[in-house]
């Protein structure tokens, strides 16, 4: 069974990091990066600064805060609430069924109308939003329904506003992954509004800035996204939150990559790689190595790209996730393709595309198959391109893809049939399909020099 850090130690780390040993600080940072329960508790305690604690900002009505250690009393209260929440949620089996949670009126059940329930719902939503965004949205909305009816003075230090901000933030996370970008931005506005009520809003606002940058990047609003990512990085640096600062640095790199600024972003990804190696964090090492590999492929430094992809692949094969493993194998296929071994590149890329389709990652599979189209075009294999485009059209249609994506693939087939397909055509279709994932309303426009 997974062991979480106790609330007392997380509270100490959040309010006075120097009171925790260096080894334990590193362990808490690494644990909170991968454990939604510990991260949620740490975020909750992070609303309090050492100065406020010393000032005795303890205003909960009826509470006895005369202890020499108010933080201990606070942490013990939170731990008790969380235990009660675990029991109540288990009894109702709410975390097992999004549908049951959606239908349950939590506000009418006093056992479920607590800060502990909000924290547990937030943590659960965070733990599943990447793979089950619609279920996560249900749990986040349930957390919001409880958090918004808790009294403003339910906790000292106005900490109830952290619960509300976190619930809205988890709603934004789920909406981002499910592609509902305007709604995600609206949720972030609500989260920001809640966080601004805190005595120490910097942590929450930095978190919102980071997530807002991700949403704007998905909308191709790259300049705005970069500005918010930079705000997040500065905020986390000021707070001494190095793990989260690296997330902002990595996001800045990803945004810059989308903008085509390879020379700048590769420095950012190397900064992340250095951080991962310094703390011996495999996930950061793998993610940064993969990102650097992509940059080096674009710069045609194929040896460097291969080295970084292989470093990432070893880790992703061991710890996952499968999506990132497949992306890395795709990267290695591109290295082979640009290296001139086209038959081997096609073999590798076909294997990646097939596995992506099995996992219902249809858009990624299509992008891989467009790399195959480009390779076949270089080989003059027009008949294979026509067959591949026909297959892609069928897969897209069965998956219910948008009309524009079907039109783009139909264009590839028609151009190949007429013997007029160009590398510029393939590039235009690839760009459209990548953008259409983030902008479903985008219309496919024929390339400037199209045969039509």
Shared domain check, 276 and 148:
no
Structurally, the chain folds into a number of domains equal to 2
What is the average pLDDT value for the chain, to the nearest integer?
87
Q: Is residue 425 part of a domain?
A: no
Shared domain check, 11 and 82:
yes
Shared domain check, 302 and 160:
no
Instruction: Convert the pLDDT of each residue in 439-451 to its tens digit.
Output: 777 888 877 777 6
Q: Is residue 184 part of a domain?
A: yes
Shared domain check, 275 and 152:
no
Shared domain check, 31 and 127:
yes
Instruction: Convert the pLDDT of each residue in 43-93 to its tens digit.
Output: 667 665 544 544 444 334 334 434 446 667 778 888 899 999 999 999 999
Residue 399: per-residue pLDDT = 79
- The yes-or-no verdict on residue 374 having pLDDT over 90 is yes
Range name among 24-38, 81-95, 145-159, 180-194 with the lowest pLDDT average: 24-38
Which residues have a Cβ under 8 Å from the Cβ of 56 and sit 6 or more positions away? 65, 70
- The yes-or-no verdict on residue 328 having pLDDT over 50 is yes
Q: Is residue 420 part of a domain?
A: no
Give me the domain span that covers residue 310: 260-321
Banded pLDDT at 41 (limits 50, 70, 90): low
CATH code where residue 309 lies: 1.25.40
Residue 22: per-residue pLDDT = 72
Q: Which of 151, 78, 142, 154 is nearest to 107 (CA)?
A: 142
Residue 360: per-residue pLDDT = 83
Q: Is residue 423 part of a domain?
A: no
Contact 46, 161 (CB under 8 A): no
Contact 152, 160 (CB under 8 A): yes
Shared domain check, 169 and 75:
yes
Q: Is the dihedral of CA 223, 229, 235, 240 positive or negative?
A: negative
Shared domain check, 56 and 191:
yes
Percent of the chain with pLDDT over 70: 87
Residue reference for tokens 């808490």? 28
350 exposure class (CB count in 10 Å sphere: 0-12, 13-18, 19+):
middle
Shared domain check, 196 and 265:
no
Q: Is residue 118 part of a domain?
A: yes
Residue 313: per-residue pLDDT = 97
Shared domain check, 78 and 171:
yes
- Reading the block at residue 407, the tokens are 């039109």
Instruction: Convert the pLDDT of each residue in 240-271 to its tens digit.
Output: 889 999 999 999 999 999 999 999 999 999 99
pTM for the predicted model, two decimal places: 0.81
61 exposure class (CB count in 10 Å sphere: 0-12, 13-18, 19+):
exposed
- The yes-or-no verdict on residue 390 having pLDDT over 80 is yes
Q: Is residue 362 part of a domain?
A: no
Q: Is residue 98 part of a domain?
A: yes
Residue 29: per-residue pLDDT = 72
Q: Is residue 313 part of a domain?
A: yes
Average pLDDT over residues 81-106: 90
Average pLDDT over residues 187-204: 93
């Amino acid at each position: 069974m997974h062991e979480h850090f106790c609330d007392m130690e997380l509270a100490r780390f959040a309010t006075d990091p120097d009171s925790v040993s260096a080894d334990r600080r590193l362990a808490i940072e690494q644990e909170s990066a991968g454990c939604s329960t510990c991260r949620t508790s740490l975020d909750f305690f992070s609303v309090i600064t050492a100065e406020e604690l010393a000032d005795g900002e303890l205003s909960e009505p009826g509470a006895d805060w005369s202890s020499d250690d108010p933080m201990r009393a606070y942490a013990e209260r939170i731990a008790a609430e969380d235990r009660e929440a675990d029991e109540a949620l288990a009894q109702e089996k709410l975390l097992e069924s999004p549908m049951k949670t959606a239908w349950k009126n939590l506000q009418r059940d006093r056992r479920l109308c607590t800060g502990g329930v909000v924290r547990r719902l937030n943590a659960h939503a965070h733990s599943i939003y990447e793979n089950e965004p619609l279920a996560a949205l249900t749990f986040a909305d349930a957390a919001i329904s409880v958090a918004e009816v808790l009294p403003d003075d339910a906790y000292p230090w106005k900490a109830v506003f952290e619960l509300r901000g976190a619930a809205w933030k988890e709603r934004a996370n789920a909406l981002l992954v499910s592609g509902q970008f305007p709604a995600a931005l609206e949720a972030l506005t609500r989260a920001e509004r809640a966080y601004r009520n805190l005595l120490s809003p910097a942590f929450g606002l930095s978190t919102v800035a980071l997530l807002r940058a991700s949403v704007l990047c998905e909308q191709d609003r790259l300049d705005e996204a970069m500005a918010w990512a930079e705000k997040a990085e500065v905020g986390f640096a000021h707070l001494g939150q190095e793990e989260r600062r690296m997330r902002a640095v990595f996001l800045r790199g990803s945004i810059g990559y989308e903008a085509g600024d390879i020379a700048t972003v590769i420095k950012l990804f190397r900064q992340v790689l250095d951080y991962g190696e310094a703390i011996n964090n495999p996930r950061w090492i793998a993610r940064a190595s993969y990102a650097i590999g992509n940059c080096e492929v674009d710069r045609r430094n194929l040896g460097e790209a291969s080295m970084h992809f292989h470093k990432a692949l070893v880790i992703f094969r061991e710890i996952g996730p499968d999506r990132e493993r497949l992306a890395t194998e795709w990267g290695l296929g591109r290295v082979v393709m640009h290296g001139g071994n086209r038959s081997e590149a096609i073999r590798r890329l076909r294997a990646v595309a097939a596995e992506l389709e099995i996992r219902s990652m249809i858009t990624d599979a299509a992008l891989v198959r467009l790399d195959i189209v480009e390779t076949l075009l270089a080989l003059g294999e027009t008949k294979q391109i026509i067959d591949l485009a026909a297959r892609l059209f069928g897969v897209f249609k069965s998956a219910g893809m948008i009309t524009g994506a079907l039109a783009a693939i139909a264009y590839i087939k028609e151009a190949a049939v007429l013997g007029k397909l160009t590398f510029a055509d393939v590039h235009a279709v690839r760009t459209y399909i990548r953008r259409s994932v983030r902008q479903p309303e985008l219309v496919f426009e024929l390339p400037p020099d199209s045969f039509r």
